[in-house]
Chains A and B, each alone.
Chain A
Amino acid sequence: MSAVIEIEGLRKTFHSLRNGRRVAVDGFDLLVEEGQIHGFLGPNGSGKTTTLRALLGLVRADSGRMSVLGEPSPELLPRVAGRVGAIVESPQFFGNFTGYRTLRLLARAGGVPVSRVDEALELVGLRDRGDERVKGYSLGMKQRLAVASALLKDPRLLILDEPANGLDPAGIREMRDLMRSLAASGVTVLVSSHILGEIQLICDHVTIISRGRRVAAGRVDEVLAGHDRHEFLVRVAEPERAVELLHAAELTAVVDSDALVVNGVTDSTVISRVLGEQGLWVGELTPLRPDLESVFLELTGAGEDPSVPRQVDHAAPLPGAEGDPIDLDVRGVDA
């Protein structure tokens, strides 16, 4: 498969008189191949939006190499811009324009046939509301309009930053179906989102960013497998005795509420055999597979101590990072 987006060693530092120097992206790598629905995850202020902005030529990278659809970005981005649909954060539209007029203006500016406007409105479910003014739209409708603006070009690559913002459950589902159908038609999708369940449902690949660096990347199932502790939930009549028996068999087990959690086991039949041989019959034996949320929280350290309010950019130290080289005093800005 050919690479649709390639980022190598992207670094971006922001300077301001008030806040000084802030490294937003620090040697970040990203590879998105053709046909993927690629999830892009990271806590607030981790550098997701800065990465997307740099890729789309909206901020100047300090260093690194980027390409979009095979063309170096941002130098030759105009060559492929007609095939890249993107929304970065929530775009603002003129409130006194109708949805249709908003898209028509963009179509004109981008040299896209105006006939595409109706198709895009139809795709995002705004066909019957296209002649209403944008200022009357709900947040979810504005988000749909933003997605419609990205779809106007009939893109080969779709970059969506938080597309589910403001959408109701039905809207989220429609957005998921839309992304799937686009991917099925050959469109590569890069989607950043905080709704990890959604990413796990729709994405086949994922890249996780924390403190401006990539902390995980690959197929979703491979990333999850990499964090599988081979744990099983076991329900038996005598949990304490079961723990003793499993320890005697050199297995690690702890009582968790009214059940046991056994880890480090690749073959679950070992558990039932050890307990069954001693007359303890297993009532439930459930593998505890990691989900994207647990992997995300583990990698980014975002859920370390629930009793302490987490500050923006409070993330786990990066593997291999010496000390704390990154000043992440973002103060609420999603960089």
Chain B
Amino acid sequence: MNLVRAELERLSARRFVQLMVVLLVLAFGVTAATTLAGSHKPSADELASARAQATEARRGMEMAFQECLARQNGTLPPREPESYYPRDCSEIDPVRSERLPITADYLPGVFSFAEQARPLLYFLIAFLVLFGFLVGASYIGADLNSGGVVNLLLWRPRRLTVLGAKLGALLGSVLALSVLASLFYLATFWVIGQTAGLAGRLSGDFWRSLGAVHGRGMVLVLLASALGFAIATLGRHTSAALGAVAAYAVVWELGARLVLEIVDARRPDQLMLSSHIGAWLTGETRFWDSQLCADSRPGVYCESFYSLTWGPALLVLLVITGGLTAAAFVVFRRRDLI
């Protein structure tokens, strides 16, 4: 416990950590300030007009669907020029639509918390993932490089305990900071929505969905922190983690993706870590596969999409991060510390 406390103090005293926290506060402040400056409380007239427009848009969607069905049944009277209708009317069925027009869509210059909370949270999670990765890598990388770990091992000659305490302190600190920052962040934008914008429809489903994204985001931040820590431990330097990520992005995400597309490989996206990160964070991600409908009969509707869901995506992320972290502990246990 003393070791973890000491590590927490060392971590919080690091200049890089302090700089990243300042950047986090700055990013948060700029986002909140620009949102506040660009939003206003809608007047009763604006609201009424927006509601009418949204109702009209929904009615238009319903009419188009009914006309499509009527044309399919041959009961639609001929018109000039004839509107375009898909072969399969379910494509434009409002009930199956992912999202129907709502009042907020017709309120320009008005911040809607219900509409913007999710993208704002994604932005914060992206920043925290970067924060966790960089702090995790620099925390152990700098210590290994400067001899700080050796100094500590002279006091506590238990390598796994020392490395475990460092990783525990890192994950605990990053999680605490991330939870606090994200809750404060969401609360601030909720207040902006209430006072200088529109709160929107904050139903139980909305909060459950936002909570799920938040929870998955926090897990992603922890995985990124552990990954940065593990790669820097394996490479003995902070730069090893940065280099590994840069190399992976260029060689695999860009280069291999291009090659896989050239050779017409099946479902190349599911081989990319970024796809699994997206699937984990959003719950499900759909990818296009040109060969998926190659064997379908003509005239029969076929969706050339396949999905990655959060379960398998989490498994992939856990295996990679867990594997690298375990490797880091094994290597650190046996390594000569010079």
Which chain B positions have C-beta within 8 A of A94?
A: 10, 13-14, 148
Does A194 touch B at the CB level, under 8 Å? no
Count of A-B contacts with CB under 8 A?
Answer: 76
A108 to B15 Cα, complex, angstroms: 21
A264 to B148 Cα, complex, angstroms: 54
Which chain A positions have C-beta within 8 A of B155?
A: 81, 106, 109-110, 153
A14 to B338 Cα, complex, angstroms: 11
- Distance (whole angstroms) from the CB of B15 to the closest CB of chain A: 6
Query: B191-250: which have CB < 8 Å to A?
Result: none
Known contacts A14-B336, A109-B6; A92 and B146 CB within 8 A of each other: yes
| Chain B residues close to A by CB (< 8 Å) | 2-3, 5-7, 9-10, 13-15, 146-148, 150-158, 334, 336-338
Which one of B2, B5, B9, B157 lies within 8 Å of A74 (CB-CB)?
Answer: B157
- Distance (whole angstroms) from the CB of B335 to the closest CB of chain A: 8
Known contacts A60-B336, A92-B151; A97 and B13 CB within 8 A of each other: yes
- Distance (whole angstroms) from the CB of A73 to the closest CB of chain B: 9
- Distance (whole angstroms) from the CB of B285 to the closest CB of chain A: 41
Between B9, B146, B154, the greatest number of chain A beta carbons within 10 A of the residue's beta carbon is seen for B154
Please name the residue on chain B nearest to A110 by beta carbon: B155
A96 to B17 Cα, complex, angstroms: 13
- Distance (whole angstroms) from the CB of A106 to the closest CB of chain B: 6
Which chain B positions have C-beta within 8 A of A56?
A: 153-154, 157
| Chain A residues close to B by CB (< 8 Å) | 14, 53, 56-60, 74, 77-78, 81, 86-89, 91-94, 96-97, 101, 105-106, 108-111, 149, 153
- Whether B150 lies near A58 (C-beta < 8 A) is yes
The 10 closest A-B pairs by CB, nearest first: A110-B155, A59-B336, A109-B6, A92-B146, A108-B6, A92-B147, A58-B337, A77-B157, A91-B151, A57-B157
- Distance (whole angstroms) from the CB of B76 to the closest CB of chain A: 76
Please name the residue on chain B nearest to A15 by beta carbon: B336
Between A58, A109, A110, the greatest number of chain B beta carbons within 10 A of the residue's beta carbon is seen for A109
A86 to B147 Cα, complex, angstroms: 14
Which chain A positions have C-beta within 8 A of B334?
A: 60
Which chain A positions have C-beta within 8 A of B2?
A: 108-111
Please name the residue on chain A nearest to B15 by beta carbon: A96
A93 to B149 Cα, complex, angstroms: 10
A53 to B9 Cα, complex, angstroms: 27
